[in-house]
Amino acid sequence: MVKGWCADDGVVFVSLNHRLGVEGYGLFPDAPANLGLRDQLAALRWVHEAIAAFGGDPHRITLAGQSAGAISTGALIAAPQAQGLVRRAILQSGAPEASDRDKVRRVVRRMANRLKVPATAEAFTAVDRDLLLRTQAEVGRLSSPVLGGPAFGIVTDDDLVPRDPLEALTEGGAAPGLDLLTGWTGDEYRLWLVPGGLVDRVDRLGPVALAGAMARCHCGSEVPRGYRALRPDAGTAEIVGQLVTDHLLRLPLHRLADGREGPSYVYEFAWPSHRPGMGACHALELGFVFDSGDEPDARKLAGEGAPQALSDAMHGAWVRFVTDGNPGWQRWDANHPVRIFDDAPPAVAYGPRDRELALRTATTADATEDPPPTAPSELRSVISRLRRNGALRRR
């Protein structure tokens, strides 16, 4: 399954399971918050205590995750209870964040209404598990990482996540000596828009889709206009996808690398999949990180004939980072060095996303001080129109 991570690399690889969805991240009056994250903390403590018996070093533990796993990793390295348990961290295509507690409660209430039970952990535990999972899927059916929707996530609480993890890491001094490797793919959004044929639909919706993206990203029309100027040949779907990706990933990961005390290394995975239209989509890099390109799951995204040299380069960089904290390129500084992984010779680009992100940071202060009062109602209206047009409906 993860053939590339083995003793031959000097790495002991440990994976774990934890509670997900409403069971892991539902907010209930009769249960602690963040149960899924608490599962992960328990596993991390076990690894710290027991890994020496498997040939590992408890003082050189690297915690790694991709997408939601990266969000969990960010929360754990910021958590007071996890300080000292981790030496290094890898965050792939996910930034530290805390979800809105009221939003999570609303999702729980929607499920409770459908199930006709109280919105308590005790009542949900008594529900048939298959019915619980079906109801959860129904409630989140129209959710999209691009335009949002009902979802569960890590929230602030009284002990494990007492502060937004990104703030704790950049302003609160959490994990000061930790080495960090983080980055993103070039076309994250294509994983959600391409397989269902949504690129063409979003392109046809044009201003409606852009309005939804602006509301989701809390920005004015000058931002997508700036993106359009930088990408004059891009369709609406690409503008929307890259705008939301910057909002959710690249901007907070830049902030993380800029604001923390320890060394950080940043990458961008830019190799385009051989699958038509997928580009450098979300999760595509995993087959290269694990050197598992010949496995069926990796081929589903990459297609046939993925370059082995790219796997060697990426896998080797991750092993070097896990081993000694340096993946082999310049650490993050004011010049914003980013290692680009594609099928070209190894290269570091300086500030490859800075122009787009500058459009966001230039308007952040104004948006924070005086947010558009109509944004919430605008977003609801736009999403309603998108749903009527089928742009968010999954096939």
Residue ranges per structural domain of the chain: 183-395
Q: How confident is the model at residue 8 (pLDDT cuts 50, 70, 90)?
A: confident
pLDDT recorded at residue 232: 96
Reported as a single tens digit per residue, the pLDDT across 228-243 is 999 999 999 999 999 9
Q: How confident is the model at residue 13 (pLDDT cuts 50, 70, 90)?
A: very high
Reported as a single tens digit per residue, the pLDDT across 293-330 is 889 989 999 999 999 999 999 999 999 999 999 999 99
Catalytic site residue from 238, 282, 285, 356: 282
Catalytic site residue from 23, 93, 144, 188: 188
Is the pLDDT at 6 greater than 80, yes or no?
no
Is the pLDDT at 50 greater than 90, yes or no?
yes
**Three-class SS of the chain:** CCCCCCHHHCCCCCCCCCCCHHHHHCCCCCCCCCHHHHHHHHHHHHHHHHHHHHCCCCCCCEEEEECHHHHHHHHHHHCHHHCCCCCEEEEECCCCCCCCHHHHHHHHHHHHHHHCCCCCHHHHHCCCHHHHHHHHHHHCCCCECCCECCCCCCCCCCCCCCCCHHHHHHCCCCCCCCEEEEEEECCCCHHHHCCCCHHHHHHHHCHHHHHHHHHHHCCCCHHHHHHHHHCCCCCHHHHHHHHHHHHHHHHHHHHHHHHCCCCEEEEEECCCCCCCCCCCCCCCCHHHHCCCCCCHHHHHHHCCCCCHHHHHHHHHHHHHHHHHCCCCCCCCCCCCEEEEECCCCCEEEECCCHHHHHHHHHHHHHHHHCCCCCHHHHHHHHHHHHHHCCCCCCC
pLDDT recorded at residue 143: 81
pLDDT recorded at residue 146: 73
Catalytic site residue from 23, 67, 93, 247: 67
Q: What average pLDDT does the structure give for the chain?
A: 90
183-395: what fold?
Rossmann fold (3.40.50)
Q: pTM score, two decimals?
A: 0.92
Higher-confidence residue of 311 and 393: namely: 311
Q: Is 221 an annotated catalytic residue?
A: no
Q: Is 188 an annotated catalytic residue?
A: yes
Q: Is 282 an annotated catalytic residue?
A: yes
Is the pLDDT at 382 greater than 60, yes or no?
no
Environment class of 318 (CB within 10 Å of its CB; exposed 0-12, middle 13-18, buried 19+): buried
Taking the C-alpha atoms of residue 392 and residue 213, their distance in angstroms, rounded to an integer, is 13
